[in-house]
Structure 1
Amino acid sequence: MMADENNTEENATPQAPVENAPAAAEVAPNVAETTEAAATESADTGAPSQPRENNRGGRGRGGGAGGGGGRDGNREGGRGRGGRGGRDDRRGGRDDDGGEELIEKLVHINRVAKVVKGGKRFGFAALVVVGDGKGRVGFGHGKAREVPEAINKATAAAKKKMVRVPLKDGRTLHHDGMGHFGAGKVNVRSAPAGTGIIAGGPMRAVFESLGVADVVTKSIGTSNPYNMIRATFDALVHQTSPKSVAQRRGKKVADLLGRGGASEAEAEAAAEAIAE
């Protein structure tokens, strides 16, 4: 028994002294010295000392790589890998081509359905009238799964199909007219100043976008807004001005306006007042 205890004591390996303890003790004074130096520098410069944060700059919503972190990363990183980017939708603003102000009128919107193998897919159809208020007007039709997208498509289509209509004194039509499409018919008549727009429904949107201030209209037959719009445009595209008639007939505008006993000076003045 005594021999076994002696052998155990002889075979036991002596433990080496711990040398890392002094190094660990030296770390704390270094950290304290760094904190005191930062406090001294802040006191000299007058700026408040702030703790350093982990400013890795996450992706954020815009996916900015290595930005200022959080929302700042969106500003610095742009669209990045994880973001869709912002959309610049400017409905009712300036035209992208000519840079002019356009008047947009939503005439009609209805729900539509497309039958497919798995069932029905519902969407929306929009009818929009666009004009500059100075004699140019157009209409467009668009379909989409959402209402805003359908309106945007209809507006883009209307801008591509704008037509110019001659106006008398910039406020009314030169002469009466009639238009029809399908089962719908419309009558349009010029009116004196102060009459206003005597029209309803889709026809009013057309004349307001066109820039007409005085007109009298009558719709006959269908009340379908699509047919009424097309019938109204059929009447407008057949409008002619004295200037275009004079050019086609090879005469002067004063010759056309000089009928009915009007003097030559009055005819010349009336011809100069006419604007397309």
Structure 2
Amino acid sequence: MTTKQRIILHLVSGGIGQTLDSLARACVPHFPENEFEVRHWNLVRTRAQLRRVMAGIAAESGPVLSSLTDQELKKDLDEGCLRMNVQLLDVMNNTLELLERVTGTQAHGRAGSQYVMDENYFRRIDAMHYVIEHDDGQQARGLREADVVLVGVSRASKTPTCFYLANRGIKAANVPLVPDTPLPLELFEARVPVIGLTIDPDALVEIRLTRLNAMVAAKPGIRPVFQETAYVDPEEVRAELLWAKRLCVRHGWPLVDVTRRSVEETSAAILDILEHPWPTSLPG
């Protein structure tokens, strides 16, 4: 059995580190023969804070990804890594240089400037409140205020996807699709985009069983009889999903298959649909 090479990866940010963390999570899986241990150094905005970072890098030597924008701190980090013979990649430089060439203006290095309480910030807060108030078909009369409405059967990732979209400033409501239960008239009167979420039947059964098992575990004494219910019966679930798909197709609502998608990937597919003309369905 081959032992994986252990690598300490330092992420140094002047903000909350979301950009670097996302980059690392996207890149690390491409090196399965290595075992990465990530060290987060966030909100680095003073020389005293940077000295603590440098001490940490010296104690656990490893490559450094930086998104610092303060020129003095960037210079100190560069010189420190050079002295320790540590590889450093400034992920901001190439992007900023490109935008400087395009705009003809110089970038201003203000730490955490992407997190200021501006119009976009308050839009995200409003979107989060909207999702809470319009989850699972609540307050149907407010659907006309949505940027998008997600529909789908139970446990098709509607709620987590709505919350992720809210973090992007998108007001997303969701309405459950339940056989023999009429949809609210407001869904058709709202005149907003409607997108259906679908999933592989076997995957859905597994998710529903896991959820029901968790509910039973939280309430000792309850006899787990749900294995025999239509909610988790494979044939019933398959019929339920087929009905939901046909409903979406009948109304011209595009479908996104969430089976092999993370919430982030599902949200990206939805944003793509909202920004561009969409096909009838997007396979997983």
Q: TM-score, normalised by structure 2?
A: 0.20
Q: TM-score, normalised by structure 1?
A: 0.21
Whichever of the two has the greater Rg, that structure is: 1
Say which structure is richer in strand: 1
